[in-house]
Amino acid sequence: MEANPTAEGGPDDSPFDLLPEAGGRAAALCLHGLTGTPYEVRPVAEALADAGIRAFGPRLAGHGGTPELLAETPYTAWVEGVRQHYAALAAEADRVFVVGLSLGGLLSLDLAAEADVAGVVSIGAPLALSWPIPQAVPVVKYLMPMLPKRSGSDIRDPAARARHPGLPTMPLKSVHELVRLQRSLRPSLGQITAPAFIAHGVHDHTARPADAQKIFDSIGSEDKELLWLENSAHVVPVDYDGADLAERVAAFLAARL
């Protein structure tokens, strides 16, 4: 799915609130990844709106500014911001789903472990980072505060990768906060009982595909599905399998209205 252009001709990376034409009393909170923008979950959100589900995509705390601002944002600010957005949607909708990519997937699972969500979708969530990142990043973040993204975002489609918006560097302090969130979340996965849809790109070089299977096996949900995207890397919603993913997520959630 093509990006919605801004007035300047670039991709629209702004927050969104997509309302279904026929109205409806269900909503989905759509969460992007670390150093990313709402743009990367908008294709799924548009499919949800077409299926009769309001789709709200905010910026996560610390995003939308400089890498330095993000570097000073603790993971607890991401968690609290998501819970505030969920509470606001729950005050207006009868049923609220949560959908997230990467960091957004972890935050979606974290919310589903604590709140009575109507369903949870996790896409490319990194349940743990490979050795030695968790062990080294608490020290390395002071020696090398920013890690340049030399090859861009983890997307197989070269055209999609070239136009993908986001920060050009990864603050290693933010990676450390991601590790802290992972450690906080892993013991809580069994508390998740909402309908769950877990998806992961087979060619993901950012989050291990095996993590999707671990999430699927660890959550307490009885109603759950696991989808492998055979032609995509990490940012699946804008990669080769994006249209298929959006259709499958919309169908899964619409069937549980």
Q: What is the pLDDT of residue 131?
A: 84
pLDDT at 7 > cutoff 70: no
Q: Which long-range contacts (CB under 8 A, 24 or more apart) does 92-96 make?
A: 92/27, 93/25, 93/26, 93/27, 93/54, 94/25, 94/26, 95/25, 95/26, 95/27, 95/257, 96/26, 96/27, 96/28, 96/29
204, 211, 239, 241: the catalytic one is 204
pLDDT for res 113? 98
Catalytic residue among 85, 164, 200, 234: 234
Q: Which of 102, 122, 221, 232 is catalytic?
A: 102
Residue 157 annotated among the catalytic residues of the structure: no
Query: In this predicted structure, what is the pLDDT of residue 1?
Result: 32
Q: What is the pLDDT of residues 90-147, one digit of tens each?
A: 999 999 999 999 999 999 999 999 999 999 999 999 999 988 888 999 999 999 999 9
pLDDT value of position 2: 34
pLDDT of residue 178: 98
Residues 6 or more apart whose CB falls under 8 angstroms from that of 207 comprise 102, 124, 125, 126, 127, 200, 234
Residue 78 dihedral angles phi and psi, to the nearest 5° = -65, -45
State mean pLDDT over 158-166: 95
Domain at 16-254, CATH class: alpha beta
Does the structure show a pLDDT above 80 at 10?
no
Q: What residue ranges do the domains of the chain occupy?
A: 16-254
17 tagged catalytic: no
Instruction: Render pLDDT for 179-222 as a digit per residue (tens, 0 to 9).
Output: 999 999 999 999 999 999 999 999 999 999 999 999 999 999 99
Q: What is the mean pLDDT of residues 31-41?
A: 98
- Please tell me the pTM assigned to this model: 0.95
Alpha helix (H) residue ranges in 148-188? 158-163, 172-185
Asked about 234 being catalytic, the answer comes back as yes
Q: What is the C-alpha to C-alpha distance for residues 207 and 83, in angstroms, rounded to an integer?
A: 24
Provide the pLDDT for residue 6: 44
